[in-house]
Structures are given as structure tokens and as C-alpha cells.
Amino acid sequence: MRKGSSHPTLLEVARLAGVGVGTASRAVNGGTNVSASTMRKVKSAIQQLGYMPNHAARVLKGGRAKTVGLLVPSISDYFFASCAEAAGRIAKAHDSLLIVAVTMNLSGAEISSLDVLMRHRPDGLLIVPSDPDNKELARCVRNSAVPVVTFDRPLFGSGCSSVITDNFEAARNATLHLIEHGYKRILCFSSEPDLYTIRERLRGYCQAMEEAGLPSLIDTSLDDTTLVSRLLAGHLKGRRPPDAVFTLKNSSTSAVVQALHQLRVSIPSRLALLGFDDFELAATLHPSISVVQQPIEDLGRKAAELLFEQLESHHGIKGFRKMKREPVVLANRLVLRRSCGCKEELARKDL
């Protein structure tokens, strides 16, 4: 801690160790072509001075920044937070730091946040695109000069690989499960129908209903509990009320559960319920809620692993573009609890 608590430089280390700056540098990194005694001297000097390599200088010189950027809609959301944590673990294992920028699902904020991220010249990028068809973002990604992996949602025309779950198939199977239970009027409920994942789930639901020759009943309102409460009351008072609800996202499931509580509608006898995305208390609620469970952490983990794979193979070669381009698709799981009418709490179906 010399010189007014400012950071000591490699030059100072070298001087103290009585060696050249080049030698000191080699000693710091790996130690190729450094004699044991020199190594010792340098190490001791580093200890003494509390030397810490200046990241900025390293990056400037053209080395790995040991940094990967993550662009997500939100970080307080459990889903993305878990992905981020998993990705962060992988990054750490590669001695890198994950830096996070939040977009709030606003396509506008996306580009500007990406800019802030790029200022730090990360080695690679992990992105959850708000809109898979965002041409502007795709363009940014294409000439970003670093490998990019998308997860949870693809980014068409970006040419980067992605890790997603099969939302369509999972929703289809979940709906099919409700149909097997004998429900015929299955209401599909969700907010934010414009989101890619929601659209896919909606497709899956429609496909299943069509296969079974049943009419689709769709309501894409907000997740506001009192609103949902009023809507459901309306649906239930109709001449042909629904006998089951399939919610397409976490917050919708919560909202419906709360609404049904308020309305004193019993689950599943009066109305069955199955939701997309698991949540902490799904098993604790009364009755427990059946859900499609996504391999949340695997999403973040896989995406990060894929990115580092590209990073390794990149290594100076500009050819990192020609990696596996088809998206990696992870399997979802149908966790059957009570709210759909199942008796056995433990039945699970891999999808």
C-alpha cells in the first residue's frame, strides 16, 4: 500500500523485485519462462506491495477482458435472477465477471443498455431479447464483434446461437393433460400476449384444443388481481362457464389463485388450475398448484457454457460465427399436484 493508498503498478513490483518489467509480467501470468528464484522474488514483491493487476490496462492491450455481459428484462424477477446467478457461477469458474444490464422488456432501452454494456468491451454477451424479431437489435448483435448467446428467447436474423425451452410443446402437453382429466372448457389466461414465450405457449394451447376438437377460450388481460377477479366472476356466470384455467405465466397464476380465493371458488372441483412456471409456494398453497416447470438454472448455465465454448474456440480466429446455429432446446417438466384434479402429488412427466 505505497504512495497514498493508490494502486501499485507492475513497474514498482519489478523494481522492488529487482527484475525487468517484462519478467514481472510473465511471472504474474502463468509464469512461462521464469526461473523459480525469480518467481519467488516477484511473488514476494507482489505480497509486499499488495499489487493487483490493472484490468483496464490489460483490456486496452488487447487481452481478454475476462468479462461477459448479460442483458435481461429484469433482475428482481425470480426467473431471470436464477438464470443470472447460474450464468454468474459459470463465468466465475472461467475466472470472469458477469456484468448485468436491465432492460425492463422495453425494446428501446435494449439498444441503449447494450451500448452501456459494450463500453466495457466484454468478451461475449448473453441476451434475453424482448422481441425475437427486433431487426435493430439483431443488427447490433451481428456487428458487435463478439460471440453472443441468446436464451429463453431466440433472436431471429442475429446469427447467434440460443438456448430455449420448448414452450409450445410444454403448453400443448399441459393442455392435453387437462383434457385427459375430462375438462372441456379450458380457459387460457395470461397477460403480455406479445411476448415470444407467451405466444408460443398460446400456440401450444390452441394446438392441443384443436387436436381435441375443443374451442379455444383465451383471455389476455392484465394480472391485476381485482380485475382478474371480476373477469373470472364474469366467465363463471356465463351460460357455458369454464371448468379449468391454464395460466401462461407466473404472475397470472398468482393473480388467478388470489382471485379464486376472493371469489371462494373451490379448486379443482369447481375450476381446475394449471400454470406455466413453478413458484416457491406452489406446493404449499391449498390446494397445491400443478405447473409446468422450466429448468430455469439450466437455461442460464447452458447459455453461459455455450458462450465460453465459443470464446475458447474463437481465440483470435474470426471464425466463431460458424458454430452450432440451431437453438439448444431444453425439456420442460409437468409437475402434477392437486389443482388440476390429480390425486397423486408426486407424479411428474418429462416433456
- In whole angstroms, how far apart are CA 48 and each of 8, 43, 76? 10, 9, 42
Contact at 8 Å (CB) between 164 and 329?
yes
Cα–Cα dist 190/245, whole Å: 10
Written as nine digits, the cell of 222 is: 392484465
Q: Which is nearer to a second copy, 9 or 23 (CB)?
A: 9
Q: Which is nearer to DNA, 7 or 181 (CB)?
A: 7
- Interface residue with DNA, options 35, 44, 47, 226 (CB under 7 A): 35
Q: Which is nearer to DNA, 6 or 76 (CB)?
A: 6
> In sequence order, what are the residues at sequence separation of 6 or more whose Cβ sits closer than 8 angstroms to the Cβ of residue 176?
208, 211, 212
Q: Is 86 in the site for DNA (CB under 7 A)?
A: no
The binder of 23, among a second copy, DNA, none, by C-beta within 5 to 8 A per type, is DNA
- Least distance in Å: CB of 125 to a second copy? 14
- Interface residue with DNA, options 21, 75, 214, 330 (CB under 7 A): 21
Q: Is 284 in the site for DNA (CB under 7 A)?
A: no
Residues binding DNA: number (CB under 7 A): 29
Q: Which is nearer to a second copy, 75 or 214 (CB)?
A: 75
- Least distance in Å: CB of 102 to a second copy? 6
Cα–Cα dist 41/162, whole Å: 47
Q: Which stretch binds DNA (CB under 7 A): 53-61, 99-107, 230-238, 294-302?
A: 53-61
Cα–Cα dist 27/16, whole Å: 14
Q: Which stretch binds DNA (CB under 7 A): 25-33, 165-173, 293-301, 307-315?
A: 25-33
Candidates 112, 101, 107; CA nearest to 74 is 101
Q: Please, is 129 exposed, middle or buried when counting C-beta atoms within 10 Å of its C-beta (0-12, 13-18, 19+)?
A: buried
- Least distance in Å: CB of 80 to a second copy? 9
Cα–Cα dist 236/257, whole Å: 15
- Interface residue with DNA, options 2, 43, 48, 53 (CB under 7 A): 53
Strands 328-330, 348-350: pairing kind:
unpaired
Residues that bind DNA (CB under 7 A): 7, 9-11, 18-23, 25-26, 28-29, 33-35, 37-38, 51-54, 57-58, 60-63
